[in-house]
Homo-oligomer: A and B are copies of this chain.
């Protein structure tokens, strides 16, 4: 299919309309041939110039590397340190913004769901803190691993840029990065004067009107995205969210039974997409992961950054169902035994009871 031809234009326009429903926004959604990190850079390149100040929170590995990207772009990051076991504290947001008398903070950067440790921050409460502080900063949110799995309401929660990628909730291969934009973000980008081209929103928005792009889009992946949108919208977002919430709950029940500690300490912040479990101090999570990969051909998520060897991560998102969860938890339970990691047997069994209970209720 010719990416400058009429059929591709029709496909693109259909995708761009429907993808808004997933972000729960009426604003435009930019789709880049890029990774999720590219989509971060895009958002910052369009909104900030070197020296601009942004407020960011150390909720985990991805928040940290986003901060690093911001610093490479020359931004001055006000970094609220954290223990990688809690989400963003809205009270701290309020405090930091109130301290910012001169309103130097141009942007607030939050990771909705930290895939690295299975912690979800409460965006609605953060929005309320921003409003309470009466602060005009832009609100940028990484929804890479939450979109399509966890309720996210861009317009209602006043998110200015929602940053996403294709390989999680869209159930696709990687290769597409997303920026969903508020009108405020679009306006702000027009006043900015950064020296870049590839990420420029305005040219893309303009050409998207007719269904085209100022660059060669990753058209092969557009067919996948078209199908992913059909699947998500057929299931219904609410149903998809409920489904992920159930899998996460069952997974945690297994962990409780095994006696493995959840990396997330605040139960209001448990992730519906991923659960990160800590192995005992004297165990190595990567030894466990390698063993499970070799013996059962199952790839668990590795501990990232400072969690290396300390946690392993169970993804329970996307094109996933009850029996895939049971296969996953059974693989973990067998791996724990083979690796000699102390645990109580019966975690998978405990998860099964959660799943059955949900069917019965």
Contact = CB atoms under 8 A, between A and B. Distances in A.
Nearest to A6: B293
B36 A72 contact: no
A79 interface: no
Interface string A286-298: 0000000101111
Interface in A147-174: 165, 167, 173-174
Contacts of A200: 72
Interface stretch (A82-90, A122-130, A217-225, A277-285): A217-225
A298 to B, nearest CB: 6
Interface residues of A, number: 68
B50 A299 contact: no
A161 B353 CA distance: 49
B338 A330 contact: no
Nearest to A172: B220
A242 interface: no
A2 interface: yes
A326 interface: yes
Contacts of A356: 334, 337-338
Interface in A100-123: none
Contact of A198 (B3, B34, B296): B34
B74 A195 contact: yes
Given A3-B174, A220-B173, A349-B348, A195 B324 contact: no
A348 B299 CA distance: 22
B36 A215 contact: yes
Contact of A33 (B33, B217, B324): B33
A41 B42 CA distance: 13
Given A35-B217, A73-B197, A328 B323 contact: yes
Contact of A323 (B50, B174, B330): B330
